Chains A and B, each alone.
Chain A
């Protein structure tokens, strides 16, 4: 089947009344949590995992995907109007966006953010539909050794691109892997790391772990800070940017889209890295006169295009290889597994209607977001007046009900409470939880692939470096580690990833 008949199939699925509805719910919720600081797409996707349980897998993933890219739109609104980044990925947008608002140009800033995001969203979705099939075709030929090395490579890349110490990030991955294999071993039937708790026989519940770490630990961490007062909300004025603005921003949007699309595919990439990189690039290559930091419209256009493109293309490794590139994608994999679908290159052939349905829904979702965001922008800003003291009990209650709904097992609450304490310690110790979540999802798959690899080679570990593809992945991983270790690049990396 060629790409176009696939896309047609996708639209057939995505345009059903039910899926349009879930797509709308997804982007709406995404916008809301994007606007609200203190609750992000990861928490929201985690809270909705139990709900997605009751839907068809297509509808579930369409909705969850909508939350992720919808949050990118919502985050920019508050960044521009009140100088509070609703999402980490819109931190850079505050720099020029809020300055523009101060100069009475909030409208065009919002307008260009939406236009840039929309263009980037549509383009990168097209990219997914062309890049995914060949990638999955290659991945289908992978044996266990290739898969094992690919996972090593993915985890290492995620670490290198994450913030903070590399050693600590690797340690967090290892802890994640260990937590991931807890429960009954599928090969021997032995219960590992269950401390004789029956509730742990099926392993640690992913929803409980991720909600504890992302939802509750964040709440506890935010509660010790004093409540941030929303600053002055600027007049929005005319939204449509002038022709001069559009002409000035077009190259920036194109560059942001290209850069964001590439960075999104990388493990550990996604929206956050894309936005930072695009802004840095813009500062170097944009046509003078440059007024970055003083309200240059290109400083809004490029990172907004990039974060949306990155959010979109980070679906590529998840959908084609079954390897998550960031925590949200790890949760999506969790959603697939709840539905009994094992994520990997086979998904595209076995469930074309789901695969292409998700992709087609991204176009529809992006269109909805433009419509939702531009005329209704005033409404979203009002959301900021919801005080955290009312928001946090709601988050906690939903984490509880949501986690309970997955298995109806009270034991998961204790797991979640434990994860909250652990997650809080990690936040305090500057240990990023993202690598842990990736490790948790990949743990059982890594063990199984390693087991099969060594079974085939009769215990000879060197097979990992004698098979050419596997060797290639390991060389890339080693290079990545070397690159971070080099002092010059380490400094650059710290600069680039600092907020």
Chain B
């Protein structure tokens, strides 16, 4: 059999993956019964429904002509995701100033889009703005400097 609609096929597979996780995990919670729904009842029902929808989507991808999946370009995605994770790892230890500077540095190196001068100006601008808005105006207790 030939896949006629790549996007449909992979979407269906993604739905199935979610469904399997939902079904397997909700079996670990007590099911109860309809009149006394346990914590596993609703998620199991949703999981079964999702599996059904995933199966439909996959089977359609063999029948109906559809779009090809264009190439994934993981570079920008991973750089974005990594910079966010890095921010999470750093913020409580290193504080706002260093975290923001490092995030922008990673984005700048990873995507090679702006000049160093632009990135430096952007970093300074964003840090000043963020501190002015979040810390001074809104009084949110964000760590600014590293905690020693």
Please report A residues at the B interface, Cβ cutoff 8 Å. Answer: 50-51, 54, 165, 167-168, 170-171, 174-175, 177-178, 181, 185, 187-188, 190, 192-193, 216, 219-220, 223-224, 389-390, 392-394, 396-401, 404-405, 408, 410-414, 416-418, 420-421, 424-425, 428-431, 446-447, 450-451, 454-455, 457-461
Contacts and interface: CB of A to CB of B under 8 A. Distances in A.
A280 to B, nearest CB: 25
5 contacts: A219-B76, A220-B81, A389-B118, A429-B10, A459-B34
A424 to B, nearest CB: 5
B120 to A, nearest CB: 12
A174 B48 CA distance: 10
**A interface majority secondary structure:** helix
B124 interface: no
Given A178-B47, A181-B42, A394-B122, A459 B7 contact: no
Contact of B130 (A220, A396, A401, A450): A401
Contact of B39 (A171, A192, A216, A394): A192
A401 B113 contact: no
B42 A424 contact: no
A417 B37 contact: no
Contact of B11 (A54, A168, A187): A168
Contact of B43 (A192, A399, A414, A424): A192
User: Which residue among A54, A397, A418 has the maximum number of chain B CB atoms within 10 Å of its CB?
Assistant: A397
B147 interface: no
Given A397-B100, A405-B142, 12 more contacts: A54-B138, A171-B57, A188-B30, A223-B80, A400-B84, A401-B134, A410-B89, A413-B85, A421-B81, A429-B14, A458-B35, A460-B35
Contacts of A430: 7, 11, 67
A291 B126 CA distance: 47
A50 B142 CA distance: 13
**B interface majority secondary structure:** helix
Contact of A54 (B30, B38, B139): B139
Given A174-B53, A393-B122, A396-B83, A220 B103 contact: no
Contacts of A223: 76, 80, 111
Contacts of A220: 76-77, 80-81
| 8 closest residue pairs by CB, A with B | A413-B88, A459-B35, A459-B34, A223-B76, A389-B113, A410-B88, A171-B53, A220-B77
User: Which residue among B43, B54, B56, B81 has the maximum number of chain A CB atoms within 10 Å of its CB?
Assistant: B81
A178 B50 contact: yes
B21 to A, nearest CB: 8
A171 B99 CA distance: 37
Contacts of A177: 46
Given A174-B53, A192-B29, A397-B104, A420 B84 contact: yes
B107 interface: yes
Chain B interface residue bracket vs A: 35 or more
Contact of A404 (B14, B36, B142): B142
B91 to A, nearest CB: 6
Contacts of A461: 34
Contacts of B18: 175, 178
A417 B134 CA distance: 22
B84 A167 contact: no
Interface in B97-124: 99-100, 103-104, 107-108, 111, 113-114, 118-119, 122
A281 B50 CA distance: 37
Contacts of A459: 33-36
Nearest to B6: A429
Contacts of A185: 29, 39
Contacts of B2: none
Contact of B22 (A170, A178, A190, A390): A178
Contacts of B21: 193
Contacts of A401: 96, 100, 130, 134, 142
A178 B88 contact: no
A420 B80 contact: yes
B39 to A, nearest CB: 4
A347 B47 CA distance: 33
Contacts of A188: 29-30, 38-39
User: Which residue among B50, B81, B84 has the maximum number of chain A CB atoms within 10 Å of its CB?
Assistant: B84
A224 B84 contact: no
A212 to B, nearest CB: 8
A220 B77 CA distance: 5
B15 A175 contact: yes
Interface string B61-88: 0000001011011011100111111011
A248 to B, nearest CB: 41
User: Which residue among B39, B118, B126 has the maximum number of chain A CB atoms within 10 Å of its CB?
Assistant: B39
B39 A54 contact: no
A235 B51 CA distance: 56
A147 to B, nearest CB: 15
B85 A414 contact: yes
Nearest to A212: B84
A390 B122 contact: yes
A146 B26 CA distance: 27
A188 B73 CA distance: 43
B39 A190 contact: yes
A412 B91 CA distance: 12
Nearest to B18: A175
B128 interface: no
Contacts of B33: 459
B1 interface: no
Given A393-B104, A394-B126, A417-B85, A405 B80 contact: no
B92 A410 contact: yes
A193 B35 contact: no
Interface in B10-29: 10-11, 14-15, 18, 21-22, 25-26, 29
B53 A165 contact: no
